[in-house]
Structure 1
Amino acid sequence: MVASNDEEGILKDAEQFVSEYYSYEATQNPMLIAKYHENYMKYTEENLEDLITKNPALEVLMTRAQGLLQIRLLQWADVIGHIAMVDHQLTKYTKSMADITSDTLVDYAQWLVSYDHTTIPGLLDELHKLVVPLFTSQGVLQLAYQFSEEDSDVCDLQMSPHQLIYDMYNTIALTEIKGYAMMQFSWMLLRIYGRGNFTQEASLTRQRYSERTGQTASAARAALAMAKRDLYRCDPPVHTSGVTYAEVTRLLQGYVENEVDLNGDGTCKENCAFYTLTENHGCYKEQFCSKQDKCNGRIIDCQYVDSDMWVCPASYSSQRRYEWIEYENGRTLGRVGSCRLGTTKVDSWWRWTLTHCSYCFCLCEDDASVAERFFSLREALADIKNNKVVTGIRLVKHGKVFHIQIYQGKLVERGFVESSEEVVAQAFDPTQPGIIEGVDYHTLSYEKRAIDLDELDSPAGHVLTGARFRMIGAHLHFEIRSTPFNYTTGKLSPDRSQWISNDNTEGSYTPRSRLELHKPDIPTRAHTSLRIDSQHDQYIEFTHSDFDADAAQSTVPFVDIQPVVPSKALNTKGATLISGAGLYHRGARGSGGFIGAKLITYDYSRHVKAEPPPSEFVDEAETTEFVPIVN
Structure 2
Amino acid sequence: MIVRVRTALALLALAHVSCALVDDVLDIIKIGKEISEDIINSWDIVGKPFNATGGVELPLFRRREKAVLARIAQITRAINKVEASIERTSSMLVLLSKNSGKGTRLELRLHEMADLLSRVSAADAKMREYVTLQRDLEKITLENFAMWCVSHDSGALPSVLDRVHALVAPPHKHLLGRDLFGLVLEDVGEEHPDLCELQMSQHQLIFDMYNTISLAEIKGYAMMQFSWMLLRIYGKGNFTQEASLTRQRYGQRTNQTAAAARAALSLAKRDLHRCDPAAHKEGVTYDMVKRLLQGYIENEVDMNSDGTCRENCAYYTVAENKNCYQDLFCKKQTRCGGRIIDCTFLESDMWVCQPNYRHDHRRYEWIKYESGRTLGHPDTCSGSVTKVDSWWKWNLLHCSYCFCLCEEDIHDNRTQRFFSLGESVADVENNKVVTGLRLVKYGRVFHLQISQGTLGERGLVTPGSWVEPENKFDPKDYEVNEGVDFHTLTYEKRAIDLDELDSPSGHVMTGARFRMIGAHLHFEIRSTPFNYTTGALSHQKSVWISNDNTDGTFTPRKKLELSAPDIPTRSGMSLPVDSQHDQYMEFTHTDMNKDAAQNTVPFIDIQPVEPLKGAALLSGAGIIHRGASGSGGFLAAKVITYDFSKHVQAELPSEENYHEDDTTDFVPVVN
Do the aligned residues in 2 keep the contact of 1:310 with 1:325 (CA within 8 Å)? yes
Match runs of 1:412-427 below 5 Å: 412-426=456-470, 427=472
What's the % identity of the aligned pairs?
Answer: 56
Q: Deviations over 1:289-339 (max 9, x none)?
A: 111111111110000011111111122120111111111222111111332
Corresponding residue for 1:319?
A: 361
* Change in CA separation of 1:118 and 1:444 when aligned onto 2, cut-off 3 Å: same
Corresponding residue for 2:529?
A: 484
Report the secondary structure of 2:365's partner residue.
Answer: strand
Deviation at 1:520, TM superposition (A): 0.6
Match runs of 1:176-191 below 5 Å: 176-191=217-232
Using the alignment, how far apart are the partners of 1:249 and 1:414 within structure 2? 45
Which of residues 384, 401, 410 is equivalent to 1:368? Answer: 410
Which of residues 33, 38, 44 is equivalent to 1:12? Answer: 33
Q: Does 1:588 align with 2:628?
A: yes
Which of residues 60, 63, 79 is equivalent to 2:100? Answer: 63
Report the secondary structure of 1:105's partner residue.
Answer: helix
* Change in CA separation of 1:78 and 1:316 when aligned onto 2, cut-off 3 Å: same
Q: Deviations over 1:533-582 (max 9, x none)?
A: 1111111110011111111110000000111111x226xxxx11111111
Using the alignment, how far apart are the partners of 1:530 and 1:26 within structure 2? 67
Do the aligned residues in 2 keep the contact of 1:11 with 1:613 (CA within 8 Å)? no
* Change in CA separation of 1:577 and 1:182 when aligned onto 2, cut-off 3 Å: same
Using the alignment, how far apart are the partners of 1:142 and 1:126 within structure 2? 17
| TM-score (structure 2 length as normaliser) | 0.87
Deviation at 1:433, TM superposition (A): 2.4
Q: Which amino acid aligns with 1:407?
A: S
Which of residues 248, 257, 264 is equivalent to 1:216? Answer: 257
Q: Does 1:259 align with 2:304?
A: no
Corresponding residue for 1:96?
A: 133
Q: Which amino acid aligns with 1:582?
A: G
Using the alignment, how far apart are the partners of 2:430 and 2:620 within structure 1? 20
Q: Which amino acid aligns with 1:240?
A: K
Corresponding residue for 1:473?
A: 518
Report the secondary structure of 1:559's partner residue.
Answer: strand
Q: Deviations over 1:104-139 (max 9, x none)?
A: 223322221122222221111111111114997575
* Change in CA separation of 1:333 and 1:86 when aligned onto 2, cut-off 3 Å: same
Do the aligned residues in 2 keep the contact of 1:4 with 1:413 (CA within 8 Å)? no
* Change in CA separation of 1:3 and 1:607 when aligned onto 2, cut-off 3 Å: same
Which of residues 486, 490, 495 is equivalent to 1:441? Answer: 486
Do the aligned residues in 2 keep the contact of 1:34 with 1:95 (CA within 8 Å)? no
Q: Does 1:231 align with 2:272?
A: yes
Corresponding residue for 2:286?
A: 245
Corresponding residue for 1:378?
A: 422
Q: Does 1:166 align with 2:207?
A: yes
Deviation at 1:155, TM superposition (A): 1.3
Do the aligned residues in 2 keep the contact of 1:479 with 1:501 (CA within 8 Å)? yes
Do the aligned residues in 1 keep the contact of 2:434 with 2:453 (CA within 8 Å)? yes
* Change in CA separation of 1:550 and 1:455 when aligned onto 2, cut-off 3 Å: same
Q: Which amino acid aligns with 1:249?
A: K
* Change in CA separation of 1:356 and 1:54 when aligned onto 2, cut-off 3 Å: closer
Report the secondary structure of 2:461's partner residue.
Answer: coil
Corresponding residue for 1:129?
A: 166
Using the alignment, how far apart are the partners of 1:12 and 1:321 within structure 2? 67
Deviation at 1:150, TM superposition (A): 4.1
Flag structure 2 segments of 5+ consecutive residues without an equivalent: 1-22, 49-62, 667-671
Report the secondary structure of 1:84's partner residue.
Answer: helix
* Change in CA separation of 1:465 and 1:158 when aligned onto 2, cut-off 3 Å: same
Q: Does 1:44 align with 2:79?
A: yes
Using the alignment, how far apart are the partners of 1:146 and 1:3 within structure 2? 26
Do the aligned residues in 2 keep the contact of 1:52 with 1:77 (CA within 8 Å)? no
Which of residues 573, 581, 589 is equivalent to 1:536? Answer: 581
Do the aligned residues in 2 keep the contact of 1:24 with 1:623 (CA within 8 Å)? no
Corresponding residue for 1:628?
A: none
Q: Which amino acid aligns with 1:39?
A: Q
Do the aligned residues in 2 keep the contact of 1:451 with 1:540 (CA within 8 Å)? yes
* Change in CA separation of 1:287 and 1:564 when aligned onto 2, cut-off 3 Å: same
Which of residues 630, 640, 646 is equivalent to 1:600? Answer: 640
Corresponding residue for 2:376?
A: 334
Tell me how many residue pairs correspond in the alignment: 619
Deviation at 1:68, TM superposition (A): 3.7
Deviation at 1:53, TM superposition (A): 6.6
Which of residues 146, 149, 160 is equivalent to 1:112? Answer: 149
Flag structure 1 segments of 5+ consecutive residues without an equivalent: 626-631
Do the aligned residues in 2 keep the contact of 1:51 with 1:171 (CA within 8 Å)? no
Corresponding residue for 1:308?
A: 349
Report the secondary structure of 1:320's partner residue.
Answer: coil
Corresponding residue for 1:346?
A: 388
Report the secondary structure of 2:100's partner residue.
Answer: helix
Do the aligned residues in 1 keep the contact of 2:106 with 2:184 (CA within 8 Å)? no
Do the aligned residues in 2 keep the contact of 1:160 with 1:231 (CA within 8 Å)? yes
Using the alignment, how far apart are the partners of 2:207 and 2:86 within structure 1? 17
Q: CA RMSD in A?
A: 2.5
Q: Deviations over 1:325-369 (max 9, x none)?
A: 111222111111332332111111111160111111110100112
Report the secondary structure of 1:322's partner residue.
Answer: coil
* Change in CA separation of 1:419 and 1:596 when aligned onto 2, cut-off 3 Å: same
Do the aligned residues in 2 keep the contact of 1:334 with 1:549 (CA within 8 Å)? yes
* Change in CA separation of 1:77 and 1:614 when aligned onto 2, cut-off 3 Å: farther
Using the alignment, how far apart are the partners of 1:456 and 1:329 within structure 2? 51
Using the alignment, how far apart are the partners of 2:475 and 2:70 within structure 1? 63
